[in-house]
Amino acid sequence: MKILVTGGAGFIGGNFLQIMTEKYPEDFYVCLDKLTYAGNMETLEEVLKRKNFRFAKGDICDRSLVDDLFRKEKFDVVINFAAESHVDRSIENPSIFLETNVLGVQVLMDACRKYGVRRFHQVSTDEVYGDLPLERKDLLFHEDTPLKASSPYSASKAAADLLVMAYHRTFHLGVTISRCSNNYGPYQFPEKLIPLMIEKARKGEKLPVYGDGRNVRDWLHVYDHCEAIDEIVRRGKEGEIYNVGGHNERSNLEVVKTILKALGKEENQIEFVKDRPGHDRRYAICPDKIESEIGWKPKHSFETGIQETIRWNLENQQWLRHVESGEYRQWIQRYETLEKNS
């Protein structure tokens, strides 16, 4: 198969390409990425050496560029990771989230229709469901849970999901959607909770925790998420939504304390700060559907996964330093020079 992976220089997309280009050497992968601040070509350094991969720089909102790429490559499958995804940034500037996360999805699906792509997979989030009360541990998100987005980010993802299902019903486009819980693991941009706290703890800085720190998330290792997406694309039913969860509910405060303990640091580094607007209290995924219909189950417990993630961050300080300094942004310039001279 020839597979387009959009947003493949980001955290989850980059891990997906690292795993799948090696797992399926007979398939060919093309990565389309705009290389915004969260796109990091250093994440794809090893993937670029593989014969079944090539990179294309571009914006999924650029209809002409997307059309040209689809016409030339004749994709069988499109997997859309491309998205603006940081909630705090969506509160500061909602418009870019609507442009990329909704209009970009429309551009991709129009190209899928035009060029006969047999499967379009939308990578979504459990945040489209809103939140659950902390005291109701019996309540979980199911695929038919009503959408109740709380932030501009989650509203843009919910809108995209509705658009994907509308294209399936109206135009008979072959689609699937996955809605995952919070991801963590290697190559995560350090604005996110876990890598941010690891770095601040390592440096002896204060660890800012929103509100009372009791907000609960269901944590999913990025490797498990990537395997789930692969299984859905290859074995999932058209027109279906699959929740992907890790069975690992932890409060933000629990996560921070786990990181401090693993690094031998004191809890007095924790600093409670003003909560962000509309902060969801609890996310909890029920993954029964993907487990029963497809047979996928997460392999990582949070206890083992968080230790592996802390170790990776400690052992890959150069990658992190390049992100913090902005040096990673120069990688694409070096890559483009090599391409022109090859």
Q: How far is CA 134 from CA 176, 183, 239, 252, 342, in A?
A: 30, 20, 32, 13, 57
Q: Cα dihedral sign for 276, 195, 99, 127?
A: negative
Looking at the DSSP bridge assignments, the partners of residue 31 are 5, 55
- Spot the catalytic one: 33, 42, 84, 127: 127
Q: Which member of 153, 167, 184, 187 is catalytic?
A: 153
- List Cβ neighbours of 304 (8 Å cut-off, separation of 6 or more): none
Judge contact between 41 and 192, C-beta under 8 A: no
How far is Cα 88 from Cα 98, in angstroms, rounded to an integer? 15
126 is catalytic: yes
The alpha helices in 41-192, defined as continuous H runs, are 63-73, 87-92, 94-98, 104-115, 152-171
As a three-state string, the secondary structure of 142-163 is: CCCCCCCCCCHHHHHHHHHHHH
**Helix (H), strand (E), coil (C) string for 5-34:** EECCCCHHHHHHHHHHHHHCCCCEEEEEEC
Catalytic position from the list 42, 84, 126, 131: 126
Catalytic status, residue 92: no
Q: Which amino acid is at 330?
A: Q
Specify whether 280 is catalytic: no
Within the chain, strands assigned E span 2-6, 28-33, 53-57, 77-80, 119-125, 175-180, 182-184, 207-210, 216-221, 240-244, 249-251, 270-273
Residues classed as catalytic: 126-127, 153
